[in-house]
Every structure is written in C-alpha cells, then in structure tokens.
Chains A and B, each alone.
Chain A
C-alpha cells in the first residue's frame, strides 16, 4: 500500500514555509490530507471484508479458537439451504416492488409539487408533509405501522367499515400477507428520497423545451412522454439502482416488524445472515452468506457506476 507511508511524513508539512519544502514532500501533501480517510477505510472496510472472506472458508470461527480450513463447504451449505433460497426470492421481490413503487410515487408527487398551477405556500406545506415519512427512524416507522396494522388497529377498522374485509387481518403474522405488508411500509418510508431528487431534476428541465412542445400542439401526456421522461432518464436510472442497493440493505424494518417470519415468509438475505450469526452462532455459515450478499451488491454497484459514466 503506497498510501500508508506518507501519513507521518506529511503531517507537519503544511505548516512549513513553502520554499524549504522539497518536491517530494509537496507531492505527498494530498496524501496527508487523505490519510485519516484512508486509515479509516482500510481499518473498518478493507480489513473487515478480508476477514469475512477468510471466515467464509473456515469452520468454527469467532466462537472457537481452533478453526480449520473448510474450502467451499460453507458456501455449499448456504446455497443449498431452502431458507437461504427463499430469503433470496423474498429479497428480490421486496427490493423490486419497493423500488418500482418509490419511483412511481416519487415521480407523481414531484410532478404535482412542481405544477405551475399552484402557489408557493401550498407547495411548501405539501412538500413538508410529503417528506415527513423520510424524517422518522426505521425503529419509529416499525412501531407506527405495528400500531396501524394491528388486527384491532385503525387500518383494519377503516377497511372493515368500507366493507373490503370481513374481519381484522393480522398483516404481519399472516404468511400470505406479511411480505406485502413490509413492502408497503418500506414504500411509505422510502419514496421521499426519490421525490426530492426528481423534484430537483424537474426544476432543472429548461422551460423552452415545454414551450416548443406546446407550440407543436402536444397535450399534457405527450409532453410527459417526449420531454419530461427523456430529461429525467439519467436521474431515474441512477436513483433506481441506488434504491435497489439500499433496499437490499434493509434490516431494521424487517427485524422490528416480522423478524423474518411468519414461516420465513419475510426472511431477507440480511435477516437470514444476522440469524445465522447472532442467533445460531454459526459465524462461518453467516460469513459465507455475507460474502454472497456482498457479491450480489457488487453486481448492482457495477450497473450504478456504469449508469454514472454514461451521463
């Protein structure tokens, strides 16, 4: 690592008057400014990743001292575990449903908030209301929705009054409902970030594009398809990939609403890995799962970086 050497040598450099400095020291100055960052990332990012990869090829790690090399045994164990495979499936559904809904809601709300028909005060008030869900921590969001979606809770009461359901549904404990319930809560919690970014992007679209389209006699929908969407495309793509990545990291919401149950119906890769480590104390298996999660994320991150390059 060429980066660790300059740390000490440049610490005093900026205080020394310019002309007495050698060229070498001057070249090392930027590394000096970067050294705290590099140190932190090496110790708390690079080393842990190497460690977890190491664990994943061994057995009896962390809890016992005499760990042995196990080859790909942990990976075989994880990849043939039916609950891992269902966690993979649930995660895929959860992140794609959440991201699609975040995009649709975020775009719809951003366009309404950007409407030229409304006054500034109306927009400002609605903007704050719309951002609200994003300002609550996941622990609070989990508690709110456990209250709202309780069998005796207000959501069930409203649905019963409207005649849509016969009796109170236990959304988080019904295996056929739980995955949709956590996805719904995650949709509620996460659309504002999309909305804020899309609102900024909408305000950045040059007005004359719309004027030119209006002169051509286009209607609202045609302008949306031919002007708005193409202009927003780069932001939409990078936000969508980012959201897929972030949603796949979601642990707290699942852990505090369903814990992965009932019957593994909301088990995600994150909760599966956590349980292997901190409930089963199978740190080696958990490490293999953690490395698989990392690899899957890297695939998404690759698309993110590529979408950034295209812009």
Chain B
C-alpha cells in the first residue's frame, strides 16, 4: 500500500516538475515581452535583467496609442479580419451545405481541389497576385487583402463546417421541407442556428489567420493607409530600431484581440479545431 502511494507521489512530482519546466519554456518569453513593454527604453538591456524596473510606466503604450499612424494599422487589421471572417463564414456555409446534403457529379473532385488548395505555398501565389491584383485595380485596397486572405481561410472553414453539418441529423431539414419550406430556408432557419458552436470555432480560427497574415499584406499594399498590424510592427523595427519598449507595447496591443477571442471561446475553439484537424 505505502509503496504504491510513494510511487504515485514520485510520479506526480515528476509530472509537475516536467510541466513547470515546459511552462517556463512556453511562458517566460511572453512574460519578458510584457515586462519590457513597461520599461523605459534605457532599462531594456540593463545588467542584471529585471522583470519590474524603477522606470515602470505606461509611456510606451501612450506613445503607440497617441500615434495616429499606428492606430490606423489597428483599424486596417480589424476591418480586414472582420470582413474576412464574415465573408468566409457565408461562403463556407453555402459550400458546406452542398457537400453535406447533396450528392452530385464531380463532388469528390471539387472536394479534393478544396483540400489541396491548403497546401499551395503562398510564395507561389504572391508573384501572379502582384500582377493580377494590379490588373483588377485592387492593389493597395482592403478588397485585395480580403479576397487573398479568403483563399487561405476558406478551405479549412469548408472542411470544418461540412464535418459539423454532417453531425446534424437530416430530419432537421426534412421537417422544414414537410412544412413547404425550401432547402434554403432549412439551411438558414434551422441548420445555421443549430451549428453556432461549430461556426464560432471556424470564425475564431479565420479571424486569427487573417489578423496574422504577413506576406500578402507586405506585397499587396504600399501605403500606411492600408497596412496591417504585422507590417506596422515590422516598420517600427526599421524606423526606430532602438525603441524596444514601444515595439513590445505595439506587440502586446496587436496580440490582445486574438488572446481575448481565444480565452473567451477556448473550449469550443479547441474542440472544433481538433475535430477539423483530425478529419481534414
């Protein structure tokens, strides 16, 4: 009895110390990001390093939030990411409904194309996009960014929504059709409201991809009026390469939307994500 107990205690100590070491690996860089954003710039590389310094202040945040150019990057990121999320959900709901409730010629082919689109390297597309987006008059516009982001958010969204709709019984749509409603009514009145948990997971993931996108934002926009937060952080690195506290403050501010979305929808998000990843 006692040996079993002792072995359990040993095992527990082992697991907890493993978790703490891993937690430091994962968490310390983030803590340092936060700590540096409150320092005054002269203290960033002080020796020995300190987590909370004498010059602790919100000055770096004030500098970022008081700068219209930086705020514009945030506005742009919000506009693009929210538009991408809404449009991706709309288009993916329609496609997911087709895949989940109909059989039709070329279904497998179209599905295979959508799955394989996920593997196409963005760097392969960025060269023709440069020509195409200019030709379409979408260079340096929100629409150019929104459409190119959707190419990468849509496949995953369709796969996840199709999988989710497949779990909803067909009797749900049939009941609407018996009452004389069409498939269209069944989709929007019954299926979409029932699928809200799955749609939230897809929406959060879509927002994350768009908010974080870098390569297209770098190549398909030219002016500060259109640039997004990731490019803004990079520009800050080039302009005043020594204002580390401001770079960190901007990074913290730029991470808040995704962090909040994740914390708020954690359970649904992880559930939906893994369901999609395992079945994809």
Contacts and interface: CB of A to CB of B under 8 A. Distances in A.
Interface in A111-158: 112-113, 115, 117-118, 122, 126, 128-133, 135-140, 143-148, 150, 152-154, 157
Contact of A33 (B26, B97, B212): B97
A294 B124 contact: yes
Contact of B12 (A33, A117, A286, A290): A117
Contacts of B22: 105, 108-109, 112, 126, 130
> Which secondary structure dominates where chain A touches chain B?
helix
A15 interface: yes
A147 B122 contact: no
A30 B29 contact: no
Interface string B114-142: 11110111111111111110000000000
A136 B94 contact: no
A100 interface: no
Contact of A30 (B98, B219, B266): B98
Nearest to B155: A41
- Interface bracket on B: 35 or more
A130 B18 CA distance: 12
B95 interface: yes
A41 B154 CA distance: 9
B1 interface: no
Interface in B36-64: 36, 44-45, 47-49
B147 interface: yes
Interface of A: 2-3, 14-18, 27, 29-31, 33-34, 36-38, 40-41, 44-45, 47-49, 51-52, 55, 62, 105, 108-109, 112-113, 115, 117-118, 122, 126, 128-133, 135-140, 143-148, 150, 152-154, 157, 188, 192-193, 196-197, 199-201, 235, 238-239, 242, 245, 248-249, 251-252, 255-256, 269-270, 273-274, 277-278, 283, 286-287, 290-291, 293-294, 297-298, 300-301, 304-305, 308
Q: Which 3 A-B pairs have the closest CB atoms?
A: A14-B184, A200-B274, A48-B128
